[in-house]
Amino acid sequence: MQLTIQASGDNVQAISYLLAKNPNNLYERNHKGHLVRIFYSKFTETELEVTIFVTPDPIELLKNNSNSYDITHYINDREFAVSSIFCSFIRSALGTALNGQPKEEHLKWVNHPFSFNFEFGPVVSSLSDEKLMNLFEPIGYEVTISRPEIEYSFPIKTKSSARYLSIKGMKTLQEGLRHLFVLIPVIDNYKHYFIDEKEIEKLERYGEGWLDLHPLRDLIYRQALRFKEIYSLVENSSNDEKKVEPVKKVRLNELRYEKIVNAVSQLKPRSVVDFGSGEGKLSVQLGFVEGITEILAVEPSESASLKALERFNKVKNKEKFVIPELLWGSLFYYDERLKDKDVIILCEVIEHIDESRLPKAMDTLLHDYQPGALIITTPNREYNELYDMEEHLRHNDHRFEWTRAEFRQWCTERNHSNEYELLFDGIGEEHPSHGFPTQMCIFKRKED
C-alpha cells in the first residue's frame, strides 16, 4: 500500500511544514502492529516527492477476530491494496495536513495551491475505469490509470486486475488529501470497519465545499456508507442547506428474504432446511412463518453459526417464534436428518461452488433428501451491466454467475428424473432487457 505525493513549482518545500515531517528524517511508526513509513525521495527548491508506505501485519489484521480459524476464511488482497484500511492506517500520520493546522508561522501555506500529482495503488475495485475517472475529473484532476503487465507460463491474462491511479491538479495539500480520504474508500470493494454516524460527519467534514456539487454525489454516499442503512441526500427547506438524513430503504438482500418467506408461506410446510444459513437472518424470518414447527439452519462456518445463535437468542422469547436448530454441515456430506423435509432453501449459495461439483450436490438434494420443494436463488449475470462493474462477478468468491437462459437450462437438466415442477421468478427491480438482479427457481415435487 502506498501513496506518493509529487509537487513542482516555487515554494514546494513549504509542503514539508504542512505535513509536519522533516525531509531529513525517516518517519516510522507502528500503528496497531502495522508499520507506517513516510520518506522524501526528492526535495529541492522546485520539486518535492514524498511517499507514504504501509506494511501491514496480516496476522494482526485477523487477531482477535472470530474468523481467524474459520475454514471459510479465504486469502484476500486486504494486506496489499490501497483501501479503507490504508486510510485508517495513515490518518494519524497525516492529521496535521488533513486538518490544516501546522505551526502558526506556516499557516499561510494551508490555502496555497501547488501543482500536485498523487499516485496511489494498487487498487482493487469493481468500478470501471470510466467510473474511476468520473470520480476525480469533475473536481479538477487529470486522471491516468495503469495496470501492471504480467506474464504467466499458461494463458490466463496479460494484465493485472489491480490498477494504479495518478491524479494531477492544482490544489492545496489539504484539498488533495481530503479528496483522497473520501474517494479511496468509495473505490474500495468494501469497508473493513463498522460504519456509523461518525462516517457521515467525516464525509461532511472532508467533503465540505466540493462533495455536494459532485455529479456522482449519490454514488459516493452509497459506496461510502454501504453495509449501513442506505442514506440519501435531502434538501433542508428551512436554510437551503443539504444534509444527510437516514432514509429506510429496502435492500436487495431484504427483498430476497421477503420473496423466499412468501414462497415458503404459500407452500405451507411444517419442516424447512435453510442450507448455507450464514448468520441466520433468513432463518429468523422463517421462524415466524405460520405452520412451521421445525427449522434446520445448516452452515459450515463456525463464526457465522455463533452470530446466528446470538440472533436466535434475541428473539427466542417472542410469541409464536420457532427457534431454528443449528447444524454444522455441507452440501457434500449426506446427513440423514435432512431427508424428507417439506422445503429446502439455497439462498445465494450455488454460485460459491465450482460448477463441476454442483451436479452431485443437486442429486443429493433432489433424489436423496427428496424435499417437497427446493428453492434456489442466484445472481442474474445479465443485470451486472447496470452496476457498471469492472469485473464480471459481483463477489470475489463467486465461481460463476449465470444468465437467465443458463439458469433455466441448468435447472431443467438437474430435474432429469422429471419428479419436480419448475417455477421460475425474479427478485428486485426488473429491467426491461436485463431482467431481475436475482433469479429464483422453485423445484416443486409433483403429486403422485
Domain boundaries, given as residue ranges, for the chain: 2-193, 252-445
C-beta separation of 5 from 49 below 8 A:
yes
Q: What per-residue confidence (pLDDT) applies to 341?
A: 97
* Per-residue pLDDT tens over the stretch 77-101: 444 567 777 887 888 889 899 989 8
Q: Name the least confident of 122-126, 249-253, 274-278, 346-350.
A: 249-253
Instruction: Write the class of the CATH domain 2-193.
Output: alpha beta
| Residue appearing with cell numbers 494463458 | 155
CATH fold, domain 252-445, is Rossmann fold (3.40.50)
Q: Name the least confident of 61-65, 141-145, 438-442.
A: 61-65
Angle at 370 between CA 369 and CA 376, to 5 degrees: 90
175 φ/ψ angles, rounded to the nearest 5 degrees: -60, -50
How many whole angstroms separate alpha carbon 16 and alpha carbon 98? 13
How many whole angstroms separate alpha carbon 282 and alpha carbon 262? 12
pLDDT band per the 50, 70, 90 thresholds, residue 151: low
Kindly report the number of other CB atoms within 10 A of residue 39's CB atom.
15
How many whole angstroms separate alpha carbon 28 and alpha carbon 6? 20
- Helix 173-187, helix 197-206: angle, nearest 10: 140
380 φ/ψ angles, rounded to the nearest 5 degrees: -95, 110
Q: What per-residue confidence (pLDDT) applies to 235?
A: 39
How many whole angstroms separate alpha carbon 381 and alpha carbon 401? 5
Name the helix (H) or strand (E) containing 308.
helix 302-315
* Per-residue pLDDT tens over the stretch 178-199: 999 999 988 876 554 445 556 7
Strand runs labelled E in 71-162: 114-123, 142-146
Q: What per-residue confidence (pLDDT) applies to 127?
A: 87
Q: What per-residue confidence (pLDDT) applies to 240?
A: 46
Q: List the grid coordinates of 420.
A: 419436480
Same topology, domains 2-193 and 252-445? Answer is no
β 325-327/241-246 pair status: unpaired
